[in-house]
Chain A
Amino acid sequence: MRLAVERWDPGEDQIEVQRAPEPGVAGGAYRAFGETLRGLKTTFARVIEGVHTIQYPEQKVAVYPRFRGRHKLHRFEDSDLEKCVGCSLCAAACPADCIRVVAAENTPELRISAGERYAAVYEINMSRCIFCGYCEVACPFDAITMGHDYELSDYNRGDLIFTKEMLLAEPLDQTPLRAQGE
C-alpha cells in the first residue's frame, strides 16, 4: 500500500507556472500562424542587435587579468636571477601532480637563483595540468604565475612537457589582455 504524499508547504513562496493551451484543434491552427509570427518578430528584432560572434583565429577575445593560462616562471628584473628556489611547494600543492622539481645548490661560481638552492629541473606536464592555479597560490616567492596564453595544443604529447627554459621565456605571441575593471 502506498502512503499519502506529505508535502512541505512553503506558503506564499511558491508560484504556479502558467500552463500552455492544449495543442491542436482551432487554437492550434491560429497558433501555427500567430505564434510563428511572434517568434519571427523576436528573431528578426535580434538583427538590430548586431553580430555577437567573432572570427576566432584572426580575432581573439581579450582575457581578464585573473585568467589562468600557461604558466610563467619569473626572474628578478635587476639581477636576472631566477625567483624559483626549488622548494617544490608548487609540486606539493598540485592536485594533478603534473609538476616535477629537482633542486640543486647554488655555488659562488654558478649562481642561478636568489636563494640557497635553485630548480635544476622544472617541468610542467601541460597535458595533465588542470589550470587550477594552486601552484601560483602555493609559491611563496611569486616565482610561478599563471600567464594568459591559452593556445597550447601540439602534435606530440612529449612536446607538452614544458621545461624550465620554455616557462622562463616570453611566449611567442601575446594574448590580448583586458585592463582592470574593463
Chain B
Amino acid sequence: MSTKSDYRRMEGSITLAPLSEQIGSQRLSSELLTLNFGPHHPATHGVLRLLVTLDGEIVQDVKPIIGYVHTGIEKTAEDKAYWKVIPVVERMDYLAYYFNALAFCGAVETLLECEVPKRAQYLRVIHLELNRIMSHLVWLGTSALDLGAMSMFWYCFREREQILDLFEMSSGQRMHTRYFQVGGVIEDIPIGFAEKVREFTRIMPGRVDQYNDLLRRNEILLQRLRGTCPLDERTLLELGVTGPLLRAAGNPWDLRKAAPYSSYEDFDFKIPVGTVGDNYDRFAVRIAEMKESVKIIDQALDGLPEGPYITEDRKIALPPRHELATSMEALIHHFKLVTEGFRVPPGEVYYAIESPRGELGCFVRSDGSAKPARVHMRDPSFVNLQATAPMTRGAYIADLIATLAMLDPILGGVDR
C-alpha cells in the first residue's frame, strides 16, 4: 500500500470549480487544508474523529471516522441469555440507558407475546422521561460549553444530579440501572420516590425558564446558532434522520405519538417543531421537549395505577423473593430462569421507540433457544451523524463545532 491513504485520494477528488466561481479572480491560489479533528477533541462529544477539508475557514468536506469505542455489544448479546443482555445493551447509548433497555425488552416482549402490566408501563414512562430530560441536560450543558456559555454547564449538571439521585433511589444505580426487565420492571418504586419526583417536576419548568433567560435571546448564541447550517426536511428524511433534528426542520414525526408504545397514548403532551431547521431550531426544540417531558411525568404520577409491576408469568419473570423459602415450585422456576433463562419462540421483530436522539429500534431474531440469535440496534446517533457533512458543507469551521453540538451524537451508541 502506498502511504497515500484513501483519504488523500478522496481529497484529491474534491473539485474546486464551484468555489473559484464564487470567489472569482480575486483569489490567486486555493490550497486545501486537511485538518484532523478528534478523536480526543472535547468538542466532538466523545471519540469521534472528523477529517475536515478546509479552504481557509470554509469547510469543504467532512468525513466522520467512527469505531473508536466499538465494544462488540451486539455480538456479545448473542452469547447471553435474554435477561443478561439487558445490562449489556444499556451500555450502548450511555445517556439513554432506559431507552436501550426498553427497546430490547419491548422487542423480546413482542416475541413472547407477553402483556406488560399497566403499572409497569407507567413506571417505565416516568423513568424514560426523566432519562430524556437528563440526556437533554447533558446535551445542553456540553453544547453551551462549546459555544462559550460556561455557567450553563454547571446549571445543567445540577439538575442532572437530581435526576441521577432519583435513579439511584428507585433502581440502585445512577447509570446503567437494569431497572427494566422483560415483562415489567424489577422492583416497585420505593417509599418517597413519587414525592421526590414531584419535587423535581415542580422545580424543573422554572429551571428551563432560567436556561431560556440565559440563552434564548443572547446575542452571542444567536450569532452562533441562528441561520447556521440548516438542512431541509427532505434531505433529512432521505438520510434517515429522526428525532429533534427532523422535528427542527418542521416534520412532527415522534414515535411516542405516531406509534404509541408503553401507554404513551394515555398522556397529553405536545410535539415541539421548528420551522427552518437551523441550529437555533434544533436548540429550541430540545429545550421545549424538556418541558413536555415534565408534563408527561406529572401525568404518569397522577395516573399511576395499582397492581403488579412485572408480569405474573412465572416462565418469564422471576418469582417474588418471599416465595423462594416457602414454595418448591417457585424455587425451581427461579433456578431455571437464572441458569438457563426463558426460551423465546422463533421469529424476528423490530421494535422502535423514540429516544432523546430519534428512532431507537431493536431488531431481535430468535431461534427458539434461550439466547437471541441476533440483536441489532438502529441507533439514532449513528444515522444522524450522516447529516454532518450535508449540514456543514460550505459553512465556517466554527459553525461545524456548533452543528456537531446541536447534532448531539453519542459515540457509545454510534460504535456500539
CB-CB under 8 A for A133 and B172, given A42-B213, A95-B80:
yes
A167 to B285, CA, bound (A): 49
User: For residue A46, which residues in chain B have a CB less than 8 angstroms away from its CB?
Assistant: 155
B136 interface hit (Cβ, 8 Å): no
- Chain B minimum-CB-distance residue to A6: B237
Q: A28-B219, A66-B172, A130-B176 are in contact. List 6 more A-B contacts (CB 8 A).
A: A21-B217, A23-B223, A42-B213, A63-B168, A68-B172, A134-B83
User: For residue B403, which residues in chain A have a CB less than 8 angstroms away from its CB?
Assistant: none
A19 to B226, CA, bound (A): 9
A16 to B275, CA, bound (A): 7
User: For residue B186, which residues in chain A have a CB less than 8 angstroms away from its CB?
Assistant: 137
B327 to chain A, nearest CB (A): 12
User: For residue B254, which residues in chain A have a CB less than 8 angstroms away from its CB?
Assistant: 10
- Evaluate contact between B280 and A20: CB separation under 8 angstroms: yes
- Evaluate contact between A140 and B213: CB separation under 8 angstroms: no
- Evaluate contact between A14 and B80: CB separation under 8 angstroms: no
Number of chain B residues whose Cβ lies closer than 8 Å to a Cβ of chain A: 67
- Evaluate contact between A5 and B237: CB separation under 8 angstroms: yes
> Which of B80, B218, B253, B285: most chain A Cβ within 10 A?
B218
CB-CB under 8 A for A67 and B168, given A15-B270, A92-B338:
yes
- Evaluate contact between B335 and A134: CB separation under 8 angstroms: no
Q: Can you list, as one digit per residue, whether each of B137-150 has a CB less than 8 Å from chain A (1) or not (0)?
A: 00000000000000
User: For residue B401, which residues in chain A have a CB less than 8 angstroms away from its CB?
Assistant: none
Stretch with Cβ within 8 A of B (4 or more), from A33-41, A76-84, A100-108: A33-41
Which A residues contact B (CB, under 8 angstroms)?
2, 5, 7-10, 13-24, 28, 31-32, 35-36, 38-39, 41-43, 46, 52, 63-68, 89, 92-93, 95, 130-134, 137-138, 140, 146, 180-182
A6 to chain B, nearest CB (A): 9
- Evaluate contact between B252 and A93: CB separation under 8 angstroms: no
- Evaluate contact between B191 and A180: CB separation under 8 angstroms: yes
User: For residue A52, which residues in chain B have a CB less than 8 angstroms away from its CB?
Assistant: 158, 161
User: For residue A9, which residues in chain B have a CB less than 8 angstroms away from its CB?
Assistant: 252
- Evaluate contact between B190 and A65: CB separation under 8 angstroms: yes
CB-CB under 8 A for A8 and B252, given A16-B273, A182-B192:
yes
Q: Which of B165, B258, B288 has a CB less than 8 Å from the CB of A8?
A: B258
User: For residue A41, which residues in chain B have a CB less than 8 angstroms away from its CB?
Assistant: 213
A72 to chain B, nearest CB (A): 14
B71 interface hit (Cβ, 8 Å): no
- Evaluate contact between B338 and A21: CB separation under 8 angstroms: no
- Evaluate contact between A130 and B222: CB separation under 8 angstroms: no
User: For residue B222, which residues in chain A have a CB less than 8 angstroms away from its CB?
Assistant: 20-23, 28, 31
A134 to B172, CA, bound (A): 12
A133 to chain B, nearest CB (A): 6
Can you give 12 A-B contacts (C-beta < 8 A)? A7-B251, A20-B226, A39-B214, A52-B161, A64-B169, A64-B190, A65-B190, A66-B168, A93-B84, A93-B339, A137-B186, A180-B190
B7 to chain A, nearest CB (A): 30
- Chain A minimum-CB-distance residue to B238: A2
Q: Which of B168, B176, B223 has a CB less than 8 Å from the CB of A64?
A: B168
User: For residue A17, which residues in chain B have a CB less than 8 angstroms away from its CB?
Assistant: 272-275, 281, 284-285, 287-288
B127 to chain A, nearest CB (A): 14
User: For residue A35, which residues in chain B have a CB less than 8 angstroms away from its CB?
Assistant: 217-219
- Evaluate contact between A20 and B216: CB separation under 8 angstroms: yes
A154 to chain B, nearest CB (A): 21
- Chain B minimum-CB-distance residue to A178: B169
B378 interface hit (Cβ, 8 Å): no
A130 to B233, CA, bound (A): 41
B163 to chain A, nearest CB (A): 14
- Chain B minimum-CB-distance residue to A68: B172
User: For residue A31, which residues in chain B have a CB less than 8 angstroms away from its CB?
Assistant: 217-219, 222
A15 to B247, CA, bound (A): 11
B210 interface hit (Cβ, 8 Å): yes
B107 interface hit (Cβ, 8 Å): no
Q: Which of B218, B251, B257 has a CB less than 8 Å from the CB of A36?
A: B218
- Chain B minimum-CB-distance residue to A89: B338
A20 to B283, CA, bound (A): 11
User: For residue A138, which residues in chain B have a CB less than 8 angstroms away from its CB?
Assistant: 338
